[in-house]
Structure 1
């Protein structure tokens, strides 16, 4: 049935994390009608993930930074919803955005496999605030129960008030590790060590950027103080190169790395633990954007992000983006970019202070990405029988055979020869590792027709 002009919003915002929430309430403040579509029941995204009401959490803000600012934006959202300026579509996964004759159509579904309901939102403009997901680099034993993503461990704590174990090693690369280890330790877990594959000296290569972002230095010092208070050691230039156990994690091997992240022979140390929280940074979630044809750029950490102009516009007319989709930079930057995009959408000048703040934080994001970028030698951790694609159980040996013996030179060819990336995650987890093993120096951003699983019935209805 055709959508009438009265049903068409000025703006559809996809994602209600820090960037999407800031964009939605700022746009409504400036007089636009907004549809805010999100997969969660409440706003906040992964950063402000909250315990379910039934858990009776007395102080959920204790697990978060800048809770007051988030609470004020959430209250503004409630006011705009009550006034009819914002339509908040919760617990719906957006699987596609299409261009109709006079508007954009946002297609979303809810329930397991998208089978319990659907929603379609019409809007004149679209803002993508789709966030990011964790980058995982495989290693022997990473499929053993008790190995979780670093962000996943934090999500378990924030949303479920539970932890993956009692003695938890935190490993990988990036500043998220410090926050995760501090949260787990404060919640009562024993965290014997934080294992950082890179280091923090890389930040010193951008002294002016550091000087312009003193709050980031204070935040880092606060994390370090928390870890000292709970007796958590930090090991830089090291990695977990093996996980040991039968039914679940019993111990890990911590190994020293050289400057290219290759394991240094004879430096392995066995660390007893019952869980491992591991992650190597974040990857911008670009499925909707690349399906629309938005151009991407290569970030210093090797991930792909959207090409955006100074007004947060993508290369597709009528589509804006804010937050991690433009390059991982944290919640503070996401909020600023969401507000800037809202000002441009409303055709209002944002003011120089907000622009300068965005530029300053974006420069810090670049320095952070460069400091924690994976080095090429990490694949030396892998044995021939190490699973790289967990969905299809494709090992590193099979991928190397496809490259060395069958001539595969990119992820697509490896996928055709081995099925790596054909499983449920569609290469979101294994994609970076497969690209590296295939020898791609600058792998292209993934392009998927559907951003999430959807039933054939829903496709037929469209």
Structure 2
């Protein structure tokens, strides 16, 4: 039987560390590749912060990837489509259909192509933890504060408190301080002593200690206090944040009564980790893994292949682990696609990459344990605190849906309260809604629960005119040369 016609061998969605590595890996071995990304330039949320002056290993690595990308684009082996927002993926007889909004000229217009295989590397977004006052102007995600500074040179405020949990707080705080802001302090909810239970894993990653020491040095130079075992319990203000209450946490990570301290500030940059961006993968029917906290990731095998044949995933979608792990997974996925297309690959290289992936996953598991949210982190949330800011759904409304209206799962809570139905489509409130429902119903979140909250037939906002014009969409297939036979 003849192979169905398709435009490219593989479409890569996302040009961050994983997608960029995968695309250049495949193009370098003769496959026809199209790389799509919503951003105007490659690098994703991580690498886009490295300019040509970056001398660290990450900056050097990114310049190498960017140079390879430029070379393959120039030779016609790879087509890079920046400012192309992929809003849905579908299976067809000819492979997979990729639908995107082409926003490269300002006016969105439909764009589509068909690929024999897909590699989804859509990364992650900030995980949000609600507290009284978190809906005030001036409360921002730590990732958003960094993106504005590094991407546009804009400070989110002049007097900033950085709080939450995880190593990401360190580069955010040091970047803001070096950018000219007064960083009132960094308040880490976890305690470093929790790392002592993982010394064997940590000993295999000495570079991480050097990175942490470098950030600590920058904070010390700017006289930024760093406090562990402390968390934000409330933000204050009327039309704008004017202050924040910080409290010391006990061994169970609950606020210690009487330890509260009010700090004047105009911005609170809060970071509690990241949530994988899974909507495109869920819509294709890819299986997920869900842990006891409700955190989800797409399930992949040794070759980064999902449960759907011909669909691969790499990077934060398979579990948040940082740029280094994303690159390793991107190369593994790229090599797997190459092998599936009948092109020989280096088995020794694959073995080394798999070993590196296992080591980096072990380190990521340590971070997940040390910086995990307590199981009952929402129990004391006041009823009038917003959970879903888009639809103005309060914690009390979620409790009412479960206790009084009979909701037994997050989907029912969503239908009763409209939590997750607003502009962000649950990206901000889904994790909280899941956790609160699990707590109130005394059961662990399931795959079905997570799927109900993250399933979005349209992964991105699409103008009605674009949907109406779909019947007239013409493919814009890349036409790189046929792969050479000696690859």
Q: Name the TM tier (shorter chain).
A: over 0.9
Report the secondary structure of 1:444's partner residue: helix
Q: Which residue of the partner structure matches residue 100 of structure 2?
A: 108
In the alignment, the residues of structure 2 paired with residue 50 and residue 134 of structure 1 have an alpha-carbon distance, to the nearest angstrom, of 17
Report the secondary structure of 2:377's partner residue: helix
Q: Which residue of the partner structure matches residue 314 of structure 2?
A: 322
In the alignment, the residues of structure 1 paired with residue 290 and residue 422 of structure 2 have an alpha-carbon distance, to the nearest angstrom, of 26
In the alignment, the residues of structure 1 paired with residue 461 and residue 53 of structure 2 have an alpha-carbon distance, to the nearest angstrom, of 33
Report the secondary structure of 1:219's partner residue: helix
Q: Give the drift of 1:284.
A: 0.6
The equivalent position to 2:444 in structure 1, one of 424, 441, 445, is 441
Superposed CA deviations along residues 161-212 of structure 1, whole A, max 9, x for unmatched, are 0111111100111111111111111112111211112223333222221112
CA shift in 2, pair 1:422/1:163, >3 Å: same
TM-score (norm 1): 0.93
Report the secondary structure of 1:206's partner residue: helix
Q: Which residue of the partner structure matches residue 333 of structure 2?
A: 341
Q: Give the drift of 1:378.
A: 2.2
Range that drifts further, 263-272 or 213-222: 213-222
Q: Give the drift of 1:444.
A: 2.1
Report the secondary structure of 2:12's partner residue: strand
Question: Would the aligned equivalents of 2:294 and 2:434 in 1 still touch at CA under 8 Å?
Answer: no
In the alignment, the residues of structure 1 paired with residue 167 and residue 366 of structure 2 have an alpha-carbon distance, to the nearest angstrom, of 12
- CA RMSD, Structure 1 to Structure 2 (Å): 2.1
1:20-419 to 2 correspondences below 5 Å? 20-50=19-49, 61-62=53-54, 66-111=58-103, 116-299=108-291, 302-347=294-339, 348=345, 349=347, 350-419=349-418
Report the secondary structure of 1:432's partner residue: helix
In the alignment, the residues of structure 2 paired with residue 20 and residue 288 of structure 1 have an alpha-carbon distance, to the nearest angstrom, of 15
Question: Would the aligned equivalents of 2:183 and 2:224 in 1 still touch at CA under 8 Å?
Answer: yes
Range that drifts further, 444-453 or 299-308: 299-308
Question: Would the aligned equivalents of 1:153 and 1:163 in 2 still touch at CA under 8 Å?
Answer: yes
Range that drifts further, 260-269 or 90-99: 260-269
Question: Would the aligned equivalents of 2:299 and 2:307 in 1 still touch at CA under 8 Å?
Answer: yes
Range that drifts further, 194-203 or 367-376: 194-203
Q: Which residue of the partner structure matches residue 481 of structure 2?
A: none
Question: Would the aligned equivalents of 2:54 and 2:60 in 1 still touch at CA under 8 Å?
Answer: no
Report the secondary structure of 2:111's partner residue: strand
Give ranges in structure 2 of 5+ residues lacking alignment: 340-344, 472-487
Question: Would the aligned equivalents of 2:109 and 2:466 in 1 still touch at CA under 8 Å?
Answer: no
Superposed CA deviations along residues 107-130 of structure 1, whole A, max 9, x for unmatched, are 101449x96212112211111111
Range that drifts further, 118-127 or 323-332: 118-127
In the alignment, the residues of structure 2 paired with residue 35 and residue 259 of structure 1 have an alpha-carbon distance, to the nearest angstrom, of 50
Question: Would the aligned equivalents of 1:260 and 1:375 in 2 still touch at CA under 8 Å?
Answer: yes
Range that drifts further, 233-242 or 60-69: 60-69
Question: Would the aligned equivalents of 1:17 and 1:48 in 2 still touch at CA under 8 Å?
Answer: yes
In the alignment, the residues of structure 1 paired with residue 145 and residue 57 of structure 2 have an alpha-carbon distance, to the nearest angstrom, of 17
Q: Which residue of the partner structure matches residue 454 of structure 1?
A: 462
Q: Give the drift of 1:275.
A: 0.6
Question: Would the aligned equivalents of 1:302 and 1:373 in 2 still touch at CA under 8 Å?
Answer: no
Question: Would the aligned equivalents of 2:4 and 2:93 in 1 still touch at CA under 8 Å?
Answer: no
In the alignment, the residues of structure 1 paired with residue 55 and residue 275 of structure 2 have an alpha-carbon distance, to the nearest angstrom, of 23
In the alignment, the residues of structure 1 paired with residue 467 and residue 320 of structure 2 have an alpha-carbon distance, to the nearest angstrom, of 32
Question: Would the aligned equivalents of 1:261 and 1:376 in 2 still touch at CA under 8 Å?
Answer: no
Question: Would the aligned equivalents of 2:127 and 2:274 in 1 still touch at CA under 8 Å?
Answer: yes
Report the secondary structure of 1:289's partner residue: helix
Q: Which residue of the partner structure matches residue 56 of structure 1?
A: none
CA shift in 2, pair 1:318/1:328, >3 Å: same
In the alignment, the residues of structure 2 paired with residue 298 and residue 224 of structure 1 have an alpha-carbon distance, to the nearest angstrom, of 34
In the alignment, the residues of structure 2 paired with residue 131 and residue 300 of structure 1 have an alpha-carbon distance, to the nearest angstrom, of 22
TM-score (norm 2): 0.88
Report the secondary structure of 1:378's partner residue: coil
Question: Would the aligned equivalents of 2:16 and 2:44 in 1 still touch at CA under 8 Å?
Answer: yes
Question: Would the aligned equivalents of 1:163 and 1:184 in 2 still touch at CA under 8 Å?
Answer: yes
Superposed CA deviations along residues 255-284 of structure 1, whole A, max 9, x for unmatched, are 122333322221110011111100210001
CA shift in 2, pair 1:403/1:163, >3 Å: same
CA shift in 2, pair 1:432/1:296, >3 Å: same
In the alignment, the residues of structure 2 paired with residue 63 and residue 353 of structure 1 have an alpha-carbon distance, to the nearest angstrom, of 26
Range that drifts further, 170-179 or 146-155: 170-179
Q: For this pair of structures, how many residues does the alignment match?
A: 451
CA shift in 2, pair 1:405/1:300, >3 Å: closer
